[in-house]
Structure 1
Amino acid sequence: MTQAVHAMRQERVRPIMDKIKALLDARVKTTPPKSLLGRAISYALGQWERVMVYLEDGRLQPDNNAAENAIRPFAVGRKNWLFSGSPRGAKTSAAIYSLIETTKACGLNPFEYLLHVFERLPYACNENDLKALLPQGMSKNDSA
């Protein structure tokens, strides 16, 4: 983490986090523990050390939006996948979805990547040729 990010989080975020913690500590004493609010406060206090790691590690984001956005297509399509036709069809769908998401995670255009693979796959003669077609081993220029 850069010094600038660390300094910014210490200067701007830590005071906010300290206020939230003080509020939670005060409210936990006056809120019935079995109420919804009481359980939420207890949960938040139980996770507090994990939350505070954010101040020290610049790689961490204050939310999980990136992960949520990556899995959204799967959550939306979950009911549709019940109709894959067979266990083999479901496995095939899962493999294709995994390949496409990996392609995106590697910064490649899925359409261009698949075009590249389909053009070269017939000429793959061994395991190394096949591994070379995986998105992890390709640059953006390879699939163009």
Structure 2
Amino acid sequence: QYLEDGHCSISNSLAENCIRPFVIGRKNWLFAGSPKGASASAGIYTLVETAKANGLAPMKYIKYILSDMPGSAF
């Protein structure tokens, strides 16, 4: 993409730096309890990092996402 758009960065270091806290703490997630628990944790971390990357408040973003889900009580 960076060849077609001069605004795109040739480096992915920004993305790597965003996921660094997740990678550093991965040993802590060995205790997620189950594969489903690990999948749920990954989903939440994805939401948090997406909010941060877009300049949003993570807690407000998660509340918004969860409130928009069918059957939500928020």
- Tell whether the structures are fold-level matches, with TM greater than 0.5: yes
Aligned pairs for 1:122-133 (under 5 A) are: 122=73
**AA at the equivalent of 1:69:** N
| Structure with the higher helix share, 1 or 2 | 1
User: Which protein is bigger by CA-based radius of gyration?
Assistant: 1
Q: Contact 2:67–2:73 at 8 Å: present in 1 too?
A: yes
Distance in 2, matches of 1:117 and 1:64, equals 27
For structure 1, list consecutive stretches of 5 or more residues without a partner in the other structure: 1-52, 124-144
1:103 aligns with 2:54: no
TM-score for the superposition, normalised by structure 2: 0.65
Aligned pairs for 1:27-46 (under 5 A) are: none
CA-based RMSD of the aligned residues comes to: 2.8
For structure 2, list consecutive stretches of 5 or more residues without a partner in the other structure: none
Distance in 2, matches of 1:113 and 1:91, equals 19
Q: What is the total number of aligned residue pairs between the two structures?
A: 70
Aligned pairs for 1:1-144 (under 5 A) are: 57-61=5-9, 63-116=11-64, 121-122=72-73
TM-score for the superposition, normalised by structure 1: 0.38
Query: Which is bigger in relative contact order (C-alpha 8 A, separation at least 6)?
Result: 1
User: Which 4+ runs in 1 deviate beyond 3 A?
Assistant: 114-121
